[in-house]
DNA sequence: AGGACGCCCTGTTCGC
DNA sequence: TGCGAACAGGGCGTCC
């Protein structure tokens, strides 16, 4: 699930549960989710320390370690965090477990092992090394439009490419395109100034609204595409049957009436 | 450069 | 009901 709003919710969850608590023990259940750091080094960096602040950039969550460095988490398609009490076995698919001295634990859970955990010196250096673009929720209009103008391909791949702007995945790109009334196969170069500005505005508002709602799909407005993107779903705006197509190997949902294709884009 | 594709994983749903 | 295929909100490398 995790796109920007979901990771924002994880950040708030971590803040509310796990800050300023001494980490007694770290258990790595799946060493293969660690990237660029060994289990031993991760344990050494965390045990006896605490997490004292968090940041989010795109789909990455950063937690600063009191002893120096940052624990960085990416959640793949199925990741989440769970804070729980006790010493009983952690939730299914727990890949990394921080056990605090207060008797509680923070589990990093991935059903499919597509997420990754890193240890970084600083957030800024990590973002640079990974080639991430500016955060999709905080980027300003001018840099957004400037970067959009450099695109040569489709709008949807542009939105989802983390090097352009960071944080948008399949679900939210569909939502943004729907609300901006842009067909998923439109090319970035075919968008005029007005459409570009609309795309920026909807990117901002969709991510903001979803983050404020805790990324809970059920809490999103009924007027959003997201609430209807399933077989037999109809457009919340014009009631037309929604359509799907494949782009970049992923399913795009859209309304053929509200998001008309342009012949040059087909 | 951009896009299609396979792959990494695991669980669920779909179609015959 | 059974069983394999297809698919699922991510991202990387490879190839064209």
Spatial contact of A7 and A81, defined as CB atoms under 8 Å apart: no
Residue A74 CB in 7 A reach of strand C:
yes
Residues with CB under 7 A from strand B: A 32, 92-93, 111-114, 150-154, 157-158, 187, 231, 246-249
Tell me the catalytic residues of A: 2-3, 59, 250
Buried b or exposed e, range A98-121, using 16+ CB within 10 angstroms:
bbbeeeebbbbbbeeeebbbbbbe
Residue nearest to nucleotide C8 (CA to C1'): A77
Spatial contact of A119 and A42, defined as CB atoms under 8 Å apart: yes
A174, closest nucleotide (Cα–C1'): C9
pLDDT at A252: 94
What is the C-alpha separation between A145 and A68, in angstroms, rounded? 37
User: Which chain B nucleotides are covered by protein, judged by CB under 7 A?
Assistant: 1-11, 14
- CA to C1' distance (Å), from A254 to C3: 33
Q: What's the full length of chain A, in residues? A: 266
Per-residue pLDDT of chain A (266 residues; tens, 9 = 90+): 799 999 999 999 999 999 999 999 999 999 999 999 999 999 999 999 999 999 999 999 999 999 899 999 999 999 999 999 988 899 999 999 999 999 999 999 999 999 999 999 999 999 999 999 999 999 999 999 999 999 999 999 999 999 999 999 999 999 999 999 999 999 999 999 999 999 999 999 999 999 999 999 889 999 999 999 988 899 999 999 999 999 878 999 999 999 998 765 54
- CA to C1' distance (Å), from A211 to B11: 27
User: Which chain C nucleotides are covered by protein, judged by CB under 7 A?
Assistant: 7-12
The C-alpha angle with vertex A210 and arms to A209 and A214, in degrees rounded to 5, equals 115
Q: What pTM does this model have?
A: 0.96
Contacts 24+ apart (CB under 8 A), A250-256: A250/A170, A251/A170, A252/A156, A252/A170, A252/A173, A252/A174, A252/A177, A252/A184, A253/A174, A253/A178, A253/A225, A253/A229, A254/A174, A254/A177, A254/A178, A254/A183, A254/A184, A254/A225, A255/A178, A255/A225
Residue A116 CB in 7 A reach of strand C:
no
φ/ψ of A250, rounded to 5, equals: -125, 155
């Amino acid at each position: 699930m995790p796109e920007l709003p979901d990771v924002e919710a994880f950040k708030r969850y971590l803040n509310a549960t796990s800050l300023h608590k001494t980490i007694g023990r770290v258990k790595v259940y799946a060493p293969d989710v660690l990237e660029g750091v060994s289990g031993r080094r991760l344990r050494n960096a965390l045990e006896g320390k605490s997490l004292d602040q968090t940041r989010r950039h795109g789909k990455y969550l950063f937690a600063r370690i009191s002893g120096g460095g940052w624990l960085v988490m990416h959640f793949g398609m199925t990741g989440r965090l769970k804070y729980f009490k006790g010493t009983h076995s952690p939730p299914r698919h727990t890949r990394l477990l921080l056990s605090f001295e207060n008797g509680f634990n923070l589990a990093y859970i991935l059903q499919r092992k597509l997420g990754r955990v890193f240890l970084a010196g600083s957030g800024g250096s990590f973002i640079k090394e990974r080639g991430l673009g500016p955060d999709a929720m905080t980027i300003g209009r001018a840099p957004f439009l400037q970067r959009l103008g450099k695109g040569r391909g489709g709008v949807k791949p542009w939105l989802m490419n983390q090097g352009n702007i960071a944080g948008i995945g399949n679900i939210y790109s569909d939502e943004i395109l729907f609300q901006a009334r842009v067909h998923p196969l439109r090319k970035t170069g075919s968008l005029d100034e007005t459409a570009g500005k609309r795309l920026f505005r909807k990117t901002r508002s969709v991510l903001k609204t979803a983050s404020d709602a805790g990324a809970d799909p059920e809490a999103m407005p009924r007027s959003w595409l997201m609430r209807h993107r399933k077989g037999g779903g109809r457009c919340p705006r014009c009631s037309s049957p929604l359509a799907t197509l494949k782009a970049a190997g992923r399913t795009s949902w859209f309304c053929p009436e509200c998001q008309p294709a342009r012949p040059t884009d087909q």
